[in-house]
Amino acid sequence: MSMGTDRILPRVTEYYASRLRDHGPTPRGVDWNSAESQHLRFEQLLKVCEPSASVSINDYGCGYGALVDYLASRGAPFTYLGYDASEAMIAQASALHAGRPGCVFVAQESELPVADYSVASGIFNVKLQFSDAEWTTYMLHLVDRLAALSRRGFAFNALTSYADADRMRADLYYADPLFWFDRCKRRYARRVALLHDYPLYEFTILVRL
Protein backbone atom coordinates (compact mmCIF):
# COMPACT_ATOMS: atom_id res chain seq x y z
CA MET A 1 0.00 0.00 0.00
CA SER A 2 1.03 3.59 -0.51
CA MET A 3 1.35 5.90 2.50
CA GLY A 4 -1.80 7.70 1.41
CA THR A 5 -3.73 4.46 1.25
CA ASP A 6 -2.51 3.54 4.74
CA ARG A 7 -4.04 6.79 6.04
CA ILE A 8 -7.26 6.76 4.05
CA LEU A 9 -8.36 3.13 3.99
CA PRO A 10 -9.03 2.73 7.75
CA ARG A 11 -11.29 5.79 7.74
CA VAL A 12 -13.16 4.63 4.65
CA THR A 13 -13.54 1.14 6.12
CA GLU A 14 -15.04 2.51 9.32
CA TYR A 15 -17.41 4.75 7.36
CA TYR A 16 -18.86 1.82 5.43
CA ALA A 17 -18.98 -0.37 8.53
CA SER A 18 -21.15 2.32 10.13
CA ARG A 19 -23.45 2.35 7.10
CA LEU A 20 -23.79 -1.41 7.36
CA ARG A 21 -24.62 -1.17 11.06
CA ASP A 22 -27.30 1.42 10.36
CA HIS A 23 -28.91 -0.12 7.27
CA GLY A 24 -27.84 -3.77 7.05
CA PRO A 25 -26.90 -5.56 3.82
CA THR A 26 -28.97 -3.32 1.55
CA PRO A 27 -28.15 -0.70 -1.09
CA ARG A 28 -28.28 1.98 1.63
CA GLY A 29 -25.81 -0.09 3.62
CA VAL A 30 -23.23 0.62 0.91
CA ASP A 31 -24.40 4.21 0.37
CA TRP A 32 -26.60 3.71 -2.70
CA ASN A 33 -30.06 5.24 -2.90
CA SER A 34 -31.81 2.20 -4.37
CA ALA A 35 -31.41 -1.25 -5.86
CA GLU A 36 -32.36 0.23 -9.23
CA SER A 37 -29.42 2.66 -9.28
CA GLN A 38 -27.13 -0.06 -7.98
CA HIS A 39 -28.15 -2.36 -10.84
CA LEU A 40 -27.72 0.43 -13.38
CA ARG A 41 -24.12 0.85 -12.21
CA PHE A 42 -23.51 -2.89 -12.49
CA GLU A 43 -24.93 -2.85 -16.02
CA GLN A 44 -22.43 -0.16 -17.07
CA LEU A 45 -19.44 -1.83 -15.40
CA LEU A 46 -20.14 -5.23 -16.91
CA LYS A 47 -20.08 -3.83 -20.43
CA VAL A 48 -16.34 -4.47 -20.18
CA CYS A 49 -17.11 -8.23 -20.32
CA GLU A 50 -18.47 -10.39 -23.12
CA PRO A 51 -22.16 -10.80 -22.18
CA SER A 52 -22.45 -14.57 -22.56
CA ALA A 53 -18.88 -15.80 -21.99
CA SER A 54 -17.70 -17.61 -18.87
CA VAL A 55 -15.41 -15.18 -17.02
CA SER A 56 -13.66 -14.69 -13.71
CA ILE A 57 -14.34 -11.39 -11.95
CA ASN A 58 -12.70 -9.55 -9.07
CA ASP A 59 -15.14 -7.25 -7.29
CA TYR A 60 -12.89 -4.66 -5.64
CA GLY A 61 -14.81 -3.10 -2.75
CA CYS A 62 -17.55 -5.70 -2.94
CA GLY A 63 -19.63 -4.64 0.06
CA TYR A 64 -22.18 -7.33 0.88
CA GLY A 65 -21.79 -8.97 -2.54
CA ALA A 66 -24.76 -7.55 -4.45
CA LEU A 67 -22.87 -7.99 -7.72
CA VAL A 68 -23.02 -11.77 -7.28
CA ASP A 69 -26.80 -11.77 -7.48
CA TYR A 70 -26.76 -9.42 -10.46
CA LEU A 71 -24.28 -11.66 -12.29
CA ALA A 72 -26.41 -14.72 -11.52
CA SER A 73 -29.48 -12.98 -12.92
CA ARG A 74 -27.75 -12.61 -16.29
CA GLY A 75 -27.45 -16.37 -16.68
CA ALA A 76 -23.87 -16.54 -17.98
CA PRO A 77 -21.40 -18.72 -16.05
CA PHE A 78 -18.85 -16.90 -13.89
CA THR A 79 -16.41 -17.27 -11.04
CA TYR A 80 -16.30 -14.43 -8.54
CA LEU A 81 -13.93 -13.16 -5.90
CA GLY A 82 -15.07 -10.24 -3.79
CA TYR A 83 -12.70 -8.11 -1.74
CA ASP A 84 -13.64 -5.55 0.88
CA ALA A 85 -11.42 -4.06 3.59
CA SER A 86 -14.38 -4.14 5.99
CA GLU A 87 -14.47 -7.49 7.76
CA ALA A 88 -18.08 -6.78 8.71
CA MET A 89 -18.99 -6.47 5.02
CA ILE A 90 -17.16 -9.69 4.20
CA ALA A 91 -18.97 -11.52 7.00
CA GLN A 92 -22.34 -10.36 5.64
CA ALA A 93 -21.40 -11.21 2.06
CA SER A 94 -20.18 -14.67 3.02
CA ALA A 95 -23.36 -15.39 4.99
CA LEU A 96 -25.67 -14.16 2.22
CA HIS A 97 -23.93 -16.23 -0.46
CA ALA A 98 -22.96 -19.30 1.54
CA GLY A 99 -22.86 -22.40 -0.62
CA ARG A 100 -22.80 -20.58 -3.95
CA PRO A 101 -20.18 -22.33 -6.10
CA GLY A 102 -17.36 -20.29 -7.58
CA CYS A 103 -17.91 -17.41 -5.17
CA VAL A 104 -15.34 -16.37 -2.53
CA PHE A 105 -15.04 -13.27 -0.32
CA VAL A 106 -11.83 -12.00 1.28
CA ALA A 107 -10.87 -9.07 3.54
CA GLN A 108 -7.24 -8.89 2.40
CA GLU A 109 -6.34 -7.50 -1.00
CA SER A 110 -3.30 -9.81 -1.09
CA GLU A 111 -5.72 -12.75 -1.43
CA LEU A 112 -7.10 -11.48 -4.74
CA PRO A 113 -5.89 -13.47 -7.76
CA VAL A 114 -5.44 -12.04 -11.22
CA ALA A 115 -8.86 -12.47 -12.88
CA ASP A 116 -10.19 -11.96 -16.38
CA TYR A 117 -11.82 -8.73 -15.26
CA SER A 118 -11.85 -6.50 -12.19
CA VAL A 119 -14.58 -3.99 -11.38
CA ALA A 120 -14.99 -1.33 -8.71
CA SER A 121 -18.34 0.33 -8.00
CA GLY A 122 -18.64 3.34 -5.73
CA ILE A 123 -15.31 3.04 -3.95
CA PHE A 124 -14.11 6.47 -5.10
CA ASN A 125 -17.12 8.54 -4.07
CA VAL A 126 -16.84 9.27 -0.34
CA LYS A 127 -13.62 11.13 0.45
CA LEU A 128 -14.67 12.17 3.97
CA GLN A 129 -12.32 14.84 5.34
CA PHE A 130 -9.51 14.19 2.87
CA SER A 131 -8.52 16.80 0.29
CA ASP A 132 -9.14 16.35 -3.41
CA ALA A 133 -5.38 16.06 -3.93
CA GLU A 134 -5.05 13.28 -1.35
CA TRP A 135 -8.05 11.46 -2.79
CA THR A 136 -6.76 11.71 -6.35
CA THR A 137 -3.49 10.09 -5.25
CA TYR A 138 -5.47 7.34 -3.50
CA MET A 139 -7.60 6.78 -6.61
CA LEU A 140 -4.53 6.65 -8.86
CA HIS A 141 -3.08 3.90 -6.68
CA LEU A 142 -6.28 1.84 -6.64
CA VAL A 143 -6.84 2.08 -10.39
CA ASP A 144 -3.27 0.81 -10.82
CA ARG A 145 -4.25 -2.12 -8.61
CA LEU A 146 -7.34 -2.84 -10.73
CA ALA A 147 -5.14 -2.96 -13.82
CA ALA A 148 -2.59 -5.25 -12.16
CA LEU A 149 -5.31 -7.67 -11.05
CA SER A 150 -6.85 -8.01 -14.53
CA ARG A 151 -5.97 -10.05 -17.60
CA ARG A 152 -8.57 -8.87 -20.09
CA GLY A 153 -9.98 -5.66 -18.72
CA PHE A 154 -11.24 -3.62 -15.81
CA ALA A 155 -13.91 -1.02 -15.08
CA PHE A 156 -14.68 1.55 -12.41
CA ASN A 157 -17.10 4.39 -11.78
CA ALA A 158 -16.90 7.75 -10.05
CA LEU A 159 -19.00 10.81 -9.42
CA THR A 160 -18.57 13.35 -12.19
CA SER A 161 -17.11 16.84 -12.00
CA TYR A 162 -19.90 17.79 -14.46
CA ALA A 163 -22.48 17.43 -11.69
CA ASP A 164 -24.58 20.48 -10.84
CA ALA A 165 -22.56 22.72 -8.53
CA ASP A 166 -25.47 23.27 -6.14
CA ARG A 167 -25.80 19.51 -5.61
CA MET A 168 -22.14 18.84 -4.83
CA ARG A 169 -21.14 17.87 -1.28
CA ALA A 170 -17.84 18.64 0.43
CA ASP A 171 -17.41 15.04 1.65
CA LEU A 172 -17.73 13.54 -1.85
CA TYR A 173 -15.16 13.35 -4.63
CA TYR A 174 -16.14 14.52 -8.10
CA ALA A 175 -13.66 13.16 -10.63
CA ASP A 176 -12.85 14.68 -14.01
CA PRO A 177 -13.96 12.05 -16.55
CA LEU A 178 -11.68 13.46 -19.24
CA PHE A 179 -8.64 13.14 -16.98
CA TRP A 180 -9.45 9.52 -16.23
CA PHE A 181 -10.13 8.63 -19.86
CA ASP A 182 -6.78 10.16 -20.85
CA ARG A 183 -4.98 8.48 -17.94
CA CYS A 184 -6.33 5.04 -18.83
CA LYS A 185 -5.72 5.50 -22.55
CA ARG A 186 -2.10 6.52 -22.05
CA ARG A 187 -1.20 4.20 -19.19
CA TYR A 188 -3.09 0.93 -19.63
CA ALA A 189 -4.55 0.19 -23.05
CA ARG A 190 -5.63 1.55 -26.41
CA ARG A 191 -9.18 0.30 -26.00
CA VAL A 192 -10.85 2.57 -23.43
CA ALA A 193 -14.48 3.68 -23.23
CA LEU A 194 -15.98 6.55 -21.23
CA LEU A 195 -19.68 6.03 -20.44
CA HIS A 196 -21.36 9.24 -19.39
CA ASP A 197 -24.81 8.84 -20.94
CA TYR A 198 -26.76 7.06 -18.20
CA PRO A 199 -29.01 8.98 -15.82
CA LEU A 200 -26.76 9.31 -12.76
CA TYR A 201 -24.32 12.05 -11.73
CA GLU A 202 -21.35 9.84 -12.51
CA PHE A 203 -19.39 8.11 -15.24
CA THR A 204 -17.92 4.67 -15.89
CA ILE A 205 -14.56 3.88 -17.48
CA LEU A 206 -14.05 0.57 -19.31
CA VAL A 207 -10.52 -0.57 -20.11
CA ARG A 208 -10.00 -3.55 -22.39
CA LEU A 209 -6.46 -4.90 -22.07
CATH of the domain at 80: 3.40.50.150
Our CA angle for 56, 59, 65, nearest 5°, is: 110
Backbone angles phi, psi at 116, to 5 degrees: -60, -45
Q: With 60 as the cut, is the pLDDT of residue 1 above it?
A: no
Q: Report the percentage of the chain scoring pLDDT > 70.
A: 98
User: H or E segment at 165?
Assistant: none
Give the pLDDT confidence of 141-160 residue by residue, as tens digits: 999 999 999 999 999 999 99
Range of the domain at 106: 3-208
Residue 25 confidence (pLDDT): 85
Q: For residues 23-42, give the mean pLDDT.
A: 85
Bridge-based pairing state of the strands 78-83 and 174-175: unpaired
Give 68-91 pLDDT, tens digit per residue. Answer: 999 999 988 999 999 999 999 999
pLDDT value of residue 53: 80
The domain total for the chain is 1
For residues 71 and 75, give the distance between their C-alpha atoms in angstroms, rounded to a whole number.
7
List of residues 6+ apart from 165 with CB closer than 8 A: none
Question: How far is C-alpha 109 from the geometric centre of its chain's CA atoms?
Answer: 13
pLDDT for residue 51? 77
